Structure formats: C-alpha cells, structure tokens
Amino acid sequence: MEYVDVILPLALPQLLTYAVPDDLSGKVTPGMRVEVEVGRKHYRALVYALHRNAPQGFTAKPLRHVADLAPVVTEKQFELWTWMAAYYMCTMGEVMTAALPNGLRTSYKPRTETFVRLHESRQSDAQLARTLNTLARAKKQEKLLLDFLDLTSGETNAAVPKKTLMSLCGTSAAAFNACVEKHIFEVEQCEVGRLDRSATVTKNMPSLSAAQQAAFEEIKQQWHTKDVVLLYGVTASGKTEIYATLMAEALARGRQVLYLVPEIALTTQLIGRLQQLFGNAVGVYHSKYSDEERVEIYRMTGAGAASSDERPALQIIVGARSAVLLPFTRLGLVIVDEEHEASFKQADPAPRYHARDTAIMLAAQHGAKVLLGTATPAVETYYNTKSGKYGLATLTERFHPVPLPAIEVVDTLSMRKKKRMHGLFSQPLLTAIGEALERHEQVILFQNRRGFSPFIQCEDCGHIPQCRHCSVSLTYHKHRHALICHYCGYTERLPGSCAACGNTDIQAKGFGTEKVEEDLQRCFPDARLARLDMDTTRAKHAFRRIIGEFEAGQKDILVGTQMVTKGLDFGRVSLVGILNADNLLGFPDFRAHERSFQLLTQVSGRAGRKERRGRVLIQTSQPNNPVIRFVQQHDYHAWFNLQLAERHEFAFPPYVRLIGVNLKHTNEILLQQAAALFREQAGALLGSRLFGPFPPPVPRIQRKHILSFWIRTARHDNLAELKSVLLQQFGQLRARPGWSGLEFVADVDPA
C-alpha cells in the first residue's frame, strides 16, 4: 500500500498521512495537489512525500482526489520550505500559504478566447483563389476573408482572435456565421494569458563608466571564491546599470535572474528600464496583481509542464519578498537591491522570514551567485564583508559628476528660542524652498508619519483618545474628519468635545504628512503639491500617477513618508527637507540608529542627482547626535564602527542571534501567569539566554495583551535544540485547561 504525507493550509505542527487508493496509484507524486478529509471537512492539500510506511496506531484515510497531472511544487522548493519552517519556527502549512498564490490553492481558471482560422480545405493557394471567386457576390464575406489574410500577413494556417477580426472588418455576425457554415472559417477556444506580453526591447545595454566597469569586474572576481558579494555604492552611483549588465550575462548563459526589491510599488521606473533592455523576459510578481495573474507568473517561472529542460518563459523575475518562493528551475543570479530595507522581513503572519537571507539559501541550492546592493549596508551585511564571509565591491562616486549633497542641520530648539520656527518649518527651510521654487527646481519633504497629527489632546484635562482595541493613541486624519488606529484600522468620528471632561478645546498635537501639506500650501500658495504616503496610494495606479506627475514636472513639491526615500531617481530635485529627525532617533528599538542613518542618507540621496549639487536640510532638536553628524559627513564607515561597538557592548546582532517571542491573550491576568510560568520553565533550560517578560512598546493590539521575551544566543549555539525547547514549553502551557487561547509568536532575527 502507498501512503502520502501531505501539507495542509492549517497551522498544524506536523504533516498528515493518507492512503493512496488503488485507482489513484501511480497518479500521484510529491508536489501535486490532492483533496483530503480532516474531521468532516474537505481540504486542498499538497503531497510532500510518497512512501510505503503504514502509519503506526491509526488507519490512514484514503485520498479523495488528485487535482494535478504534474507537480506544481518542485523538489528544490520543498527543500527551501523545510529550511524556512525549521529556521523561522513555523509550520510547512504556513510556508505553503505564503508560497502558493491563492489561485493555486483554490480555483484558478485559465482565460480563453475565440480564435479564427481557415478551414483546412481552404488553405492552399488554389483553394483560396477558388473560395474568393465564390464570394464575388457576397461582399461582406469576401471582406472578412481578405481582412483575415491581412491580419495573418497571408499566412494561411495562422489563427487570429475573432474579436480582432470583427473589429477590423466591422461587419455583421451573420456574415461571419455564414463563413463558418460554408467551412471557410473554423473557430476554436484557445487559452490566453492575462499578462501584458507586449514589451519589446528598445534599448541597448548601457556602456559602463570606468568606475562601474571596475566594480563589475570586482564583483565577478569575488564570485570566484564567495557566493555572496555586497555592492556598496553611494546613492546615484549607477548600481542599476551594473545589475543590468550582470543580468544580461546570466541570461546569455541560459540562467534565470531573481531581482528582489523592497517594495514593488516603488519600482515603476525600474521595471520600465528593465523592459526596455530585456522585453518580455521580465516578469513582475506583485501583490496588487490578481490571483490569476500571479498564477501565470508562477507557472511561467517554472519549466513548461512538458519537460524540465524547457526554458521557462520568464527569465527575470522582479518582485518583493514572496518572489523568493517561486519555482525557479535555472536560477543563476540573485540581486537584492536596497538589501538593508526592513521590509524584506515579513512581520505578520508567519512565516516571519527575511527575504534577503532566504534568497541566499535559495541561491545556494541552485548554485547561483548573489549580489546585495545598497548605499547604506545593513550592519550584519557589512560585518559579513569584514569577516570575509561576503565579498565586497564599492562605488564611491556618483555616475553624473555631481558631488553628494551638502547636508545642513537645523537645530529646532535654538530656532524656536530665536523665534525662527514658523510652525513646522524653520526659517532656513522656508528660505531654501522659496529659492528652489524660484529656480523652477523641485523639492522633496520627508516626514515619517502619515495622517494630520499623531494624536489629539484636550487642552483642559489632557485626555488623549485611545484605540479601543490597542494601547495606542488614535491618529487624526483631517480630510476624513476621523480618528484612526494605525495598528488595527479602528475608526471613529472626530469628537466635538472631550470624552473625559466635555471641554470643547481640543488640539491636534504633533504632525503627519497631511498637516505638512496643508501648512506648506499656506506658506507657498502657488506651489503645486503632491503627497505620497499609504493614504494617497491605496488605489492600484495611484503611486504611478503621483510619481509620473512629479517626474513630468507637473508638481513642485513632493511631501511623503519613507515612500519618498526609496530608490526614486528624479533629475530636477535640488532640495530635500527632513522635518523632524527626532522621531526616527527616539524609536525604542536596538536598530533605531541604524534605521535613522539609512533613512536620512537615502532620502538625502534623492537631491541633486544629475545636474547641480543638491542641498539637504535636517530639522532636529539633537544636532549633536552622532547619527546626524555621520549622515552629514557622508561617513558610513565611522558610523558603522560606532554602531558595531554599541552592538558589541550591549550584546546585539551581529554578535549574538536574537529570537523575539511574544505571548498573547485577551485576558491580561492569564497572560501574566503564562509569562511567569514560561519564564520559570523555559528559563530553567535556557538560563541567561532568556530575557523577559517585558511589555512591548504597544502592549495591546486588537484586544490582545502582549508580553515579550528575548532569546539571545551565541551564533554557534545549537539553534534547532533551542527552538524545540521553546516550542515544547509553549505546548505545555497551552495544554493547561482553559489556556488554549494562548498565542505564541516567534520572530527569528527580528528586523
């Protein structure tokens, strides 16, 4: 008897075993989808293994149905999934859910269209001439046939979409049906893709500058001995052109390329550039695409179903995080652009994986090389180049001969004393904006908060409206006349009076992008403003529209959140203003300084990329903070050394490995008891490696209370053992009567 172990789309810790009934024997292999019963419910499951070991202690139920003729998941994918589940402490079902587009888990239907071809009795020249003769008095039918031949350029065994023919010809359905009845045409239903496959190559590969060429050679040299190389190149040094040149080489060797970007919405400029160079070989894997489109990209990344030697239709995949989970067959190169970006780490739900690190595993499986690129390497990454684990290539100058921008720090405290702060804007910033506008140059203003103001407060009693479900204050959104929770989306109308004391004097405190936009318009009534944040880019094409208008010079000032910091390449931006660096520096996280350095450097890098040297103004009340100073001096190395010393002193990565653990429950008392027990029992086994419990910065989200732990381990520690201790201890807690609602969230290598 044969058995299969299957993965279910449920958070089950183990795989389930089913028997293969005789009539399905030989029709099922690993990677195929099947239907099984769990309890009384039917599920779509995925076969992980096929074997002859009868399960012990129970009789396996039979499979009900096999849904595929060929596997949809490859052996290599399973290998990666297994690693992810073990490393990131999650189940195979959770990895599967992340990896398979929805359409592959439920109901993908290919799209079909009616095509027209000549009946086989009409295809020779003689037959065709005779046919045309017989139509001499049926003008409409004759025109149909002639238009058909036009469309196929005279090719007599080609097929054209009926839609196209009918709209060209403009004749009636009756004439068309007559042609079908006379066996002149025949129709067929053909599967058609949903993807736009009309890109054509319009550009030659760029020729590299001497500095780019040197970096390019260095990367290839390093790849002889290292699998991973970091390209550390300052902003606007032309990293993209180096990537493109390496991609062309991989394609010429018949290998695929995975190009990971932090946020696909931000890459319209990049994708356009790649399509000009590589045409239809480029596929984009995008969470805003429909399920069906995602299924098509998934399939086109893998080999054609016919044979595994077939070259996949897509040779370059550009995608965010989840693209690392596609079924590559011939991967030769992985590029991770802006490798320092925190968005490569998935926060919720599991698998809480880091796409950069997962891509490095993926590349190792395929014998592919990895290039990490950035102007602000992650501490861990740069450390790995120092220790010799990764290779390093550098670009220290910009492609266009413009120096890096001049960065000025504006001390908001002393400005305030001198009465030179006008609301959110210091006098120097206002002057600089005015000058830029006068010269018809563009300005980018960065504020790391959306909405109008992060909270409102009663002037009388000090009450601040809080979310009902989370322990955070509600953000005021003026356009929507509402208070909104940025953690759970809870929304209420702006109150007319204080809920605590009834006083009507309520003030908006602090500021977000919406307020920046409003106040700015008051200072510069004629300036054309655009705002780029999560609120203005919800619609599918909104991002592209806003960027497009700014690029075309239809807007003068772009106000935005960190969306404006990432990779944008505009030639006419001469000034970048950072309204308040304080709320970056003060973030309660060991990476706060790293994130601040990266963000400030990246957003500064948007200034003066092509023509004149750009100018950057940073408003802060901490002008002497070393992070600000190193950003100002463009001194990554000095910043890195200081940061590394701090990480060493306080035992943070890269010197240790961190695992964050959150326990959650709606009942606060129960949660405290559980955390105390976890501390006691896991602590007995883990000793000083376990730190906590402590309340996280937001200790209640969506009605659930949270207590956190940290596990700090030496990098050489046996992780598998440690993780199994954690999971076992949690299992014991949850098994207590009444405690089954307890949740355990593990975050390995938190970002």
Report the alpha-carbon distance of residue 454 to residue 537 in Å, rounded.
19
> How remote is the C-alpha of 728 from its chain's centroid?
33
340 binds ligand ADP (CB under 6 A): no
Which tokens belong to 688? Answer: 């000083």
Q: What is the size of the binding site for ligand ADP (CB under 6 A)?
A: 15
From residue 657, alpha-carbon distances to 228, 246, 365, 434 in Å are: 20, 33, 24, 49
When binding is defined by CB under 6 A, the residue of 237, 256, 473, 619 that contacts ligand ADP is 237
- 639: Cβ contacts below 8 Å, ≥ 6 apart: 597, 626, 627, 630, 631
Report the alpha-carbon distance of residue 543 to residue 536 in Å, rounded.
8
- Per-residue interface string for the shown chain with ligand ADP, residues 563-592, x marking contact by CB under 6 A: ------x-----------------------
Which tokens belong to 333? Answer: 């190169």
Distance of closest approach, residue 350 Cβ to Zn ion, in angstroms = 21
- 430-469 residues in contact with Zn ion (CB under 5 A) are 467, 469
When binding is defined by CB under 6 A, the residue of 99, 145, 179, 208 that contacts ligand ADP is 208
3-state secondary structure 299-339: HHHCCCCCCCCCCCCCCEEEECHHHHHCCCCCEEEEEEECC
Distance of closest approach, residue 262 Cβ to ligand ADP, in angstroms = 13
Q: Which is nearer to ligand ADP, 222 or 235 (CB)?
A: 235
Report the alpha-carbon distance of residue 133 to residue 244 in Å, rounded.
55
When binding is defined by CB under 6 A, the residue of 94, 241, 292, 339 that contacts ligand ADP is 241
Distance of closest approach, residue 376 Cβ to ligand ADP, in angstroms = 11
Q: What is the size of the binding site for Zn ion (CB under 5 A)?
A: 7
The interface partner of residue 206, options being Zn ion, ligand ADP, none and the CB cut-off 5 to 8 Å by kind, is ligand ADP
The interface partner of residue 474, options being ligand ADP, Zn ion, none and the CB cut-off 5 to 8 Å by kind, is none
Report the alpha-carbon distance of residue 410 to residue 407 in Å, rounded.
10
Q: Which is nearer to ligand ADP, 241 or 535 (CB)?
A: 241
Report the alpha-carbon distance of residue 634 to residue 615 in Å, rounded.
13
Distance of closest approach, residue 609 Cβ to ligand ADP, in angstroms = 6
699 binds Zn ion (CB under 5 A): no
Q: Is 281 left (phi over 0), alpha (psi -120 to 50) or beta?
A: alpha
Distance of closest approach, residue 231 Cβ to ligand ADP, in angstroms = 9
Q: Which is nearer to Zn ion, 142 or 535 (CB)?
A: 535
Phi, psi (rounded to 5 degrees) for 733: -65, -45
The interface partner of residue 487, options being ligand ADP, Zn ion, none and the CB cut-off 5 to 8 Å by kind, is Zn ion
Q: Which is nearer to Zn ion, 433 or 485 (CB)?
A: 485
Are 206 and 166 within 8 A, CB to CB? no
Distance of closest approach, residue 593 Cβ to ligand ADP, in angstroms = 23
The interface partner of residue 235, options being ligand ADP, Zn ion, none and the CB cut-off 5 to 8 Å by kind, is ligand ADP
Q: Which is nearer to ligand ADP, 208 or 603 (CB)?
A: 208
The interface partner of residue 412, options being Zn ion, ligand ADP, none and the CB cut-off 5 to 8 Å by kind, is none
Q: Is 511 left (phi over 0), alpha (psi -120 to 50) or beta?
A: beta
When binding is defined by CB under 6 A, the residue of 239, 299, 340, 352 that contacts ligand ADP is 239
Secondary structure of residue 155 in the 3-state scheme: coil
Report the alpha-carbon distance of residue 693 to residue 656 in Å, rounded.
19
Phi, psi (rounded to 5 degrees) for 589: -160, 145
The interface partner of residue 99, options being Zn ion, ligand ADP, none and the CB cut-off 5 to 8 Å by kind, is none
Distance of closest approach, residue 489 Cβ to Zn ion, in angstroms = 7
Omega cis (within 30) before 750: no
Phi, psi (rounded to 5 degrees) for 466: -110, 160
Closest by alpha carbon to 341, among 370, 378, 372, 371? 378
When binding is defined by CB under 5 A, the residue of 4, 336, 470, 725 that contacts Zn ion is 470
Secondary structure of residue 164 in the 3-state scheme: helix
Distance of closest approach, residue 570 Cβ to ligand ADP, in angstroms = 9
Task: Residue count of the chain, please give it.
Answer: 751
- 479-498 residues in contact with Zn ion (CB under 5 A) are 485, 487-488, 490
The interface partner of residue 683, options being Zn ion, ligand ADP, none and the CB cut-off 5 to 8 Å by kind, is none
When binding is defined by CB under 6 A, the residue of 399, 543, 550, 597 that contacts ligand ADP is 399
Write down the residue that tokens 């003729």 correspond to: 69
235 binds ligand ADP (CB under 6 A): yes
For ligand ADP, which stretch binds (CB under 6 A), given 163-171, 186-194, 202-210, 498-506?
A: 202-210
Q: Give helix then strand counts, H and E, for the chain.
A: 23, 33
Report the alpha-carbon distance of residue 452 to residue 458 in Å, rounded.
17
When binding is defined by CB under 6 A, the residue of 141, 240, 448, 473 that contacts ligand ADP is 240
Residues contributing to the site for ligand ADP (CB under 6 A): 206, 208-209, 212, 233, 235-241, 399-400, 569
Residues contributing to the site for Zn ion (CB under 5 A): 467, 469-470, 485, 487-488, 490
